[in-house]
Chain A
Amino acid sequence: MRLKTTLATAAIATVMGVAPAMADLVFPGLSYRTGPYAPNGIPFADGYADYMTLINERDGGLEGVKIKLIECETGYNTEKGVECYESTKGEGSLIYQPLSTGITYQLIPKATADNIPVHSMGYGRTSAADGTVFPWIFNYPATYWDGASIAINHILDLEGGNINGKKISLVYHNSAYGKEPIRTLEELGKKHGYQLTLYPVDHPGQEQKATWLQIRRDRPDYVLMWGWGVMNSVAVQEAANIRFPMDHFIGVWWSGSENDVLPAGDGANGYKALALANPGSDYPIYADLKKYVHDAGKAAGDGSHAGEVLYNRGMYAALLAVEAARKAMEIHNTKDLTPAMIRDGMEALEITNETMTNLGLPDFGPEFKVTCANHGGSGLGKVQQWDASAKEWKVITDWIAADREVIDALIKEDAEAYAKENNITPRTCE
């Protein structure tokens, strides 16, 4: 049986081993369209794929070079993610965006050894923002720790600048992802004098009755949430059930999509979440998307997610990858890109309002500039609020900056610890 299976796999591997046309730009799409995280994975994957299709269909590829997207299903599972990484890296993959903090942690050492850049956009390991220790890992435009600080800054705004003695709780996915903001929130707690309580929710997060009963008993002033997948909608529903004031319940940017709030109906009204970029489909690019992708029948998935928060984010991730590739072509003056060139492109990436307007997404995301030492971007975020009657997210603030003083010190400390543990000598940036 084993021999037979091995032989059959060998046969398949031979069939698959046909080399891709050399000129293609290969972007692997490590997506998840199945499992408990699929409600969030599908719109992101669709947005990512549709943007790549748009570039191919409208512009004939990036500077005339076609983009080839290889999708691989990870199910948000690290082992499958590693299998996907190994199976796609041989096909000339230029950049990995796994949309999973767990998989990102797996890929950080592997991709660094293989010299392939990883862009964990607003997720992954926060200290990877330190480009001197993590030359191949990027997490612009903002990190989890920025997110935590942005949420606290928003609370400070609401409370008139003083939150001394307030009770703030964190409901988090009990994994690497959910644990990320704890250090930052503790540090900020020391600075601002609030009291932090933690409520871990185990994977996949369908069962949160006990957690929310505790929250009802403890009566925190604010609840922050680091949730993903079904955990989000369950939490919003439970918060509504205990009649927690929804405008005091703030999710990170991964807990703020339509899928998370729609199931709770009117109960979700007023729920807040951070935003990496603006929601909605009111942008010129959507006309092109409709013409070249959706109406042409080339949309990924069932094509029903256009305009959703996570669809926009998938599109934004694809856009940043394509822009990095464009920059790399400019720097190296070639159209035959390697992962190392893309890395250079990412490190020289500068997104201004003008770039975004030219790309059909005016006033969509923050302005930021990646440098050799700073892979984390500008660390800006907005706060959006759910309007249940209109069934849409409304942005209620302008860009909020994170507390750089606290965050940068933390990033430096964690990156140094990582460098020490793994015998990395940080490179010097001029």
Chain B
Amino acid sequence: MLYREAGDFKTSYAADQQTFPIKSERYLFWAFMAFTFLVVPFIADDYWVNSILVPLLVWSMVALGLNILTGYCGQVSLGTGGFMAVGAFACYKLMTGFPELNIFIVILLSGAVTAGVGVLFGLPSLRIKGFYLAVATLAAQFFLVWMFNKFAWFYNYSASGQITAPTRTVFGIEVTGPSAPPWAAYLACLVLVFVFAWVARNLTRGRIGRSWMAMRDMDIAAEIMGVSPLYAKLSAFAISSFYIGMGGAMLFSLYLGAAEVTEAFGIEKSFSALFMVIIGGLGSILGSFLGAAFIVLFPVLLKNIMVGYFGWPTDLAAHFQIMIVGGLIIFFLIVEPHGLAQLWRLTKEKLRLWPFPY
């Protein structure tokens, strides 16, 4: 019913290999994209943009990055918060050091800086794996946060250690800073996430993505088949950190506007990013978005229901929210260990056959 596939024939390899092989799904995707680009900027108000849409996009970017490393290449990382901090501080230093630089270039460069740092902290992955690697990346998390606290150069010697995003414009429109219109920050995030989700999708389908997955599934077999572990693992660290660094830069410049390293990029951020990719679905681009949506939006939704609708005391609602989200994480992991993306995949399989399953 929902999927009408009659007459949807593939006559070339390109048509067969495209990301959305089902025609109706393809149309739905483009319609959704058109909605997010052309309609949402006009209808979203401050609250929707600053508390829901921008955090969702920023965290999707981070989850995409971590999914490349953990989901596709199988390298567990607990250093996400630290890498985001690198992105944010690189962004701050570039913004204040080169005021005339376009914010998009600043964010890309912040990603590049983080990629370099990521490769450095990815080096241990060549010798250790599994839990041991997780501990090594945990060291990265604590080291980086400590470093940004310790050396005042990173925060331009401000008395409080806070970094604040100055106003920057794109095509004459303010994108960062307090007076930027909400839709501008939203569109900037959306463009970045759209482009880089596209890139990620195609990277993971190509040679480099296959080498990551080979490395994930069995490193020795992959090595025998000619996949270089050095290249595969370090490229996964570099590209993953690039995404996470951009996410951190966006979090700082487009979302919060000011940040303080211990609070904004602490170990909880590493954990929530890891939850996102696990709940969303390891090794899935869609899963990164679903996981980010679950972790970012669900608490806000619950809060609005319990406090705004039922009028419960805020502390009761906060405690309930922690319990419900925690419970749901366990529920999803038991019912569908491959994450929300797999849940969607199964639903789609059923819907394609519905109402005449065989």
Contact = CB atoms under 8 A, between A and B. Distances in A.
Nearest to B156: A421
Interface stretch (B161-169, B191-199, B216-224): B161-169
A109 B257 contact: yes
Given A78-B256, A87-B51, A1 B294 contact: yes
B160 interface: yes
A190 B259 CA distance: 31
Contact of B260 (A5, A31, A82, A175): A175
A72 B314 contact: yes
Given A79-B256, A175-B161, A421 B166 contact: yes
Contact of A106 (B258, B307, B317, B319): B258
B319 A34 contact: yes
Contacts of A42: 315
Nearest to B55: A79
B290 A1 contact: yes
Interface in A47-82: 71-73, 75, 77-79, 82
Interface string A365-378: 00000000000000
Interface stretch (A12-20, A246-254, A278-286, A332-340): A12-20
Interface residues of B, number: 54
A304 interface: no
A106 B166 contact: no
Interface in B301-320: 301, 303-305, 307-309, 313-315, 317-319
Main secondary structure of the interface of B (DSSP, over half): helix
Given A78-B264, A113-B179, A12 B309 contact: yes
A176 interface: yes
A106 B256 contact: yes
Contacts, number: 143
A86 B257 contact: no
A109 B159 contact: no
Interface stretch (B42-50, B63-71, B102-110): B42-50
Contact of B51 (A82, A180, A423): A82
A176 B162 contact: yes
Contacts of B319: 34
A12 B293 CA distance: 17
B160 A176 contact: yes
B263 interface: yes
B297 A5 contact: yes
B100 to A, nearest CB: 14
- Identify which of B45, B258, B294, B305 gathers the most chain A CB atoms within 10 Å of its CB: B258
Interface in B323-346: 340, 343-344
Contact of B293 (A2, A112, A182): A2
B266 interface: yes
A162 interface: no
Interface in A172-217: 174-177, 179-180, 182-183, 200, 202-203
B262 A203 contact: yes
B149 interface: yes
Contact of B96 (A34, A108, A125, A421): A421
Given A1-B344, A16-B309, A78-B264, A9 B257 contact: no
A75 B322 CA distance: 12
B289 interface: yes
- Identify which of A71, A101, A102 gathers the most chain B CB atoms within 10 Å of its CB: A102
Contacts of B298: 5
Given A13-B304, A106-B257, 20 more contacts: A1-B340, A2-B289, A12-B301, A12-B305, A15-B309, A16-B308, A34-B319, A71-B313, A86-B47, A90-B46, A108-B258, A109-B178, A110-B178, A126-B159, A176-B162, A183-B159, A421-B164, A422-B164, A422-B166, A423-B167
Interface of A: 1-2, 5-6, 8-9, 12-13, 15-16, 31, 33-34, 38, 42, 71-73, 75, 77-79, 82-83, 86-87, 89-90, 101-102, 105-106, 108-110, 112-113, 125-127, 174-177, 179-180, 182-183, 200, 202-203, 301, 414, 417, 421-423
Nearest first, the 10 closest Cβ-Cβ pairs linking A and B are: A33-B315, A109-B178, A176-B160, A113-B178, A73-B314, A83-B51, A16-B308, A34-B318, A2-B293, A113-B179
15 contacts: A2-B293, A12-B304, A34-B315, A71-B313, A72-B307, A73-B307, A73-B314, A87-B304, A90-B47, A174-B149, A175-B260, A179-B159, A183-B159, A203-B263, A423-B166
